[in-house]
A and B are shown apart, each in its own frame.
Chain A
């Protein structure tokens, strides 16, 4: 599949917001850039035919996450510093640039976007085919994502619930005001 105009614009928007989040000095401005980034990427999920992920990203990534960050900012401090942008550190840019170059070197060996058949084992693999063929017969749920999430991989989802529970307990424990001697 070749790059369409809307996908190109979305990718530019998302990357621009990510760079904005990185270089804006004000924490609240950086956070707003991140919220816009989450919203842009949730549209990309829909473009890639992943509506469940898009819904979750829009509700959780752009919604709950932003509220959590704003609550944290309200309870801490928003440092007032001069200048709109952070100054770039050359050393870190070189380090991260080297990391990106190494990662980009792996791109030619990946299947082209939208490939199927033998070129892309993820979409044509036995596991995917099994879920698509049997999800409705086994679980009577038409949405294969829901079927895998709640039925085939139900124990993983239970583990996820345990993670959320422990995170809640940990956050409340940490926030309880204790005075250390």
Chain B
């Protein structure tokens, strides 16, 4: 078990981050905190990709004479795109949250449910 932890530590961190993000998405009553949880879940997945791209003794993929071996550039590109898309997602979510607040005057999930059904 300890050996596995020593050779796969980042993957354990990934799974824990996914768990923390999921917990926040389910359990936080405040809508802003739910969005923070979504971002933590996302970054957990990023960590998974970047860890897979890593190789021991690898250099950043900036090509030069005799510069190898390099880590894989492809997951880095995917994650760069995903970070930007994540920010767009957060911006829209927060805009909706501001709108919900101006309509209902609260960001508490339970109170919103009550207001909606009344």
Contacts and interface: CB of A to CB of B under 8 A. Distances in A.
Given A60-B87, A160-B85, A34 B36 contact: yes
A56 B12 CA distance: 24
Nearest to A127: B74
Contacts of B108: 79
Interface string B65-99: 00011111111110111011101111110111111
A99 B61 contact: no
Contacts of A112: 7-8
Contacts of A125: 72
Contacts of B99: 174-175
Interface in A100-144: 100, 103-104, 107-108, 110-116, 120, 122-123, 125, 127-128, 131-132, 135-136, 142-144
A11 interface: yes
Contacts of B92: 167, 170-171, 174
A164 B81 CA distance: 10
Given A30-B36, A64-B87, A120-B55, A77 B96 contact: no
Contact of B71 (A49, A64, A157, A175): A49
B107 A99 contact: no
A82 interface: no
A104 B15 contact: yes
Contacts of B37: 21-22
Given A65-B90, A177-B102, A19 B80 contact: no
Interface string B33-77: 101110110010011001111111111111110001111111111
A163 B6 CA distance: 39
B80 A52 contact: yes
A80 interface: no
Q: Identify whether the interface residues of A are mostly helix, strand, loop, or mixed.
A: helix
Contacts of A49: 54, 58-60, 71
Nearest to B31: A76
B13 to A, nearest CB: 5
B20 interface: yes
Interface of A: 1-3, 7-8, 11, 14-15, 18-19, 21-22, 27, 30-31, 34, 37-38, 41, 44-45, 48-53, 56-57, 60-61, 64-65, 68-69, 71-73, 75-77, 79, 86, 89, 92-93, 95-97, 99-100, 103-104, 107-108, 110-116, 120, 122-123, 125, 127-128, 131-132, 135-136, 142-145, 147-149, 153, 156-157, 160, 163-164, 166-168, 170-172, 174-175, 177
Given A96-B26, A113-B10, A174-B95, 5 more contacts: A3-B9, A48-B53, A92-B27, A123-B52, A123-B53
